[in-house]
Amino acid sequence: MQDNIVSDPSSSPKAHDAYAAWRVPAFRRYFTGNAILFAGWQMQKVAVGWEIYERTGSALYLGYAGLAQFFPQVLWALVAGHVTDTFNRKRVFMLALAFNALASLGLALNSARGGSVYWIYGCLFATGTTRAFFMPARAAFLPRIIPLRIFSNAVSWNSTGFEIASMTGPAVGGLLIGFFRSAMLVYTINATGALTFVALLSSIPYKHQSQARRPLTLRSLSAGFGFIWRQKVVFSAVMLDMFGVLLGGATAMMPIYAKDILQVGPRGLGWLMAAPSVGACTMALLQAHRGPLRKAGKTLLFAVAGFGAVTIVFGISRNFWLSIGMLFLLGSCDNISVVVRSTLVQVLTPDEMRGRVSALNGLFIGTSNELGAFESGLVAGFFGPVISVVSGGIGTVLVVAAIAWVFPQLRCYGRLDQAAHKLS
C-alpha cells in the first residue's frame, strides 16, 4: 500500500471523472502556482534568447545559454534527489523557488545596467542550480497531495495549466520585449511568479513522513539508477523521451527562424514559441476527458515518432503558417509523451525513493532540453539551422525504432493507470 496524505473520494468510480483532481483543494492551489511559475519561465526563455541573440548575433552563443543551465543540473542532480527523500519536501520545494526568484532578479539587474552577456550565463547557471532541487521536490510532492488512482488525471490537468502558461508566456514576453525593447520587465515578472508560488505552497497542508536520516553515501545517491534500470518500462520511457527532446530541439532555433528565415521579428517569435503549447494544451484537455490510455506503450512510441516527423517538416518550411501548424502538432505529440512518462515514473516508484528517481528523471529529461539547445546551436553554427533541425527530427524517428525493438515491455504496456490501481 502506497502512503498518501489524502484519501481517494472515488476509489471505485463507475465512470471516468474528468474533473476528479479538481475536487482536491490542495491540487487547485498547486495548479495555480505551477501555472503562474511556468508562465514566467516561458517569458524568461524568450527574453534570454532574444537578449543574447540581439547582443551577439551568434547561434553558438544561444547554445551556450542551454549549456549554462545544463551543467548545474547534472552537478547537483543526485544530491538534490537525496535531499528530497531525506528532508521535508515542501520546504525544499519552497527554498528552491525562492532562490530561483533571486536568479531572475539578477538577470533583471544586469539587463537594466546593460551588463556583460557573461553575467547572463552566470545567472542562468544559478537558475539551473535551483531547478536541480526544484524539479525532484515538485515531482515527489504531487503524489503526496493527490490520490494515485486519479494521478494521471492530475498530470493531464497540470499539463494543461503548464501549456496554457507556455502559450501565453512567450506571446506576452515577445510583446513586452517588442514594446519596451528591453528584457528587464520580463525577468522581474518571472521572479514575482516564483514568489507567488511560494506563498500558495505555504497554504497547502502537508505532513512530512519522518524517516531516519540517510548518510550521504554513493550507494544512497545511486539507488535511483538501480531502480530505473530494473523497471524496464520506466527506463525505456525515460530514454525515449530524453532522446526525442535532445535530438528534436527545434525550439532552440526559433530566434533564428523568426529573424532570418521566416522574417517575422520578436512578435512572430512569441507566436512561434506559443504554438507548441496550443497543441499540447489541446491534447492535455483531450486526455483529461478521455481517461487513461488503454495502449499506453504503443501510443507513446507513435507520439514520439510523430514528434520527429513534424520537426523535419518545420525545419524545411519557409511559410509562417505551415511552421505554426507543425509546431502545433509537435506540442500535441510531446504532451502525450509527458503525461505517459510522468504517470509511469510516479506510480511505479515507492514514496521513499521518489525524490531520487524524480531527480534522475529530471536529469535525463529536463537537462536534455538544455543540452539539446546546445547541440542544435552547435550544429547550426557549423551547418546552418535547417540542417540542425531536420537532422534532429530524423534522429528522433530512428531512436523510436530502436527502442521499440530493444524494449518490448514498453511496446506491450497496456492501461496507463494499471500500476496505480495495484499500488493504491
Q: Which residues of the chain have pLDDT under 50?
A: 1-13, 420-424
The Cα–Cα gap between 218 and 236 comes to: 24
In terms of Cα–Cα distance, which of 272, 279, 271 is closest to 335? 279
Number of domains in the chain: 1
Q: Is residue 158 part of a domain?
A: yes
**Contact present, 80 and 357 (Cβ < 8 Å):** no
Grid cell for residue 405:
525493438
Identify the CATH number of the domain in which residue 301 sits. 1.20.1250.20
**Which positions ≥6 away from 318 have C-beta within 8 Å?**
261, 262
pLDDT, residue 325, reads 93
Q: What distances in angstroms separate CA 235 from CA 97, 215, 239, one per listed residue?
A: 29, 26, 6
Which pLDDT does position 179 carry in this prediction?
85
Predicted pLDDT at 337: 86
In a domain, 4, yes or no: no
Look-up of cell digits 539551422: 385
Q: Is residue 13 part of a domain?
A: no
Instruction: Give the pLDDT of residue 210.
Output: 56
Taking a C-beta distance cutoff of 8 angstroms, is the pair 137, 92 a contact? yes
Cell numbers that stand for 342 in this block: 510522468
Alpha carbons within 13 angstroms on the beta-carbon side of residue 288 total: 21
With respect to residue 86, please indicate whether it lies within any of the assigned structural domains. Answer: yes
Q: Is residue 1 one of the residues assigned to a domain? A: no
Q: What is the pLDDT of residue 300?
A: 87
* 15 inside domain: no
Identify whether the C-beta of residue 310 lies closer than 8 Å to the C-beta of residue 326: yes
Residue 118 lies in a domain: yes
Q: Between 296-316 and 385-406, two packed helices, what is the crossing angle to 10 degrees? A: 160
Q: Tell me the C-alpha distance between 105 and 308, whole Å.
A: 36
Residue 5: its pLDDT value, please? 45
Instruction: Note whether residue 10 is domain-resident.
Output: no
Among residues 284, 376, 274, 402, the alpha carbon closest in space to that of 67 is found at 376
Exposed, middle or buried by CB within 10 Å (0-12, 13-18, 19+), for 219? exposed
Summarised one tens digit per residue, pLDDT across range 129-183 is 999 999 899 988 888 888 877 888 888 888 888 878 877 888 888 889 888 888 8
* Residue pair 34/158 in contact by the 8 Å Cβ criterion: yes
Could you give the dihedral angle defined by the CA atoms of residues 160, 165, 167 and 169, in that order, rounded to the nearest 10 degrees?
A: -170
For the purposes of burial, counting CB atoms within 10 Å of the CB of 75, is it exposed (0-12), middle (13-18) or buried (19 or more)? Answer: middle
Domain residues for 398?
A: 21-206+219-423
Which pLDDT score is estimated for 211? 59
Which secondary-structure segment (H or E) carries 176? helix 151-180
250 within 8 A of 330, measured Cβ to Cβ: yes
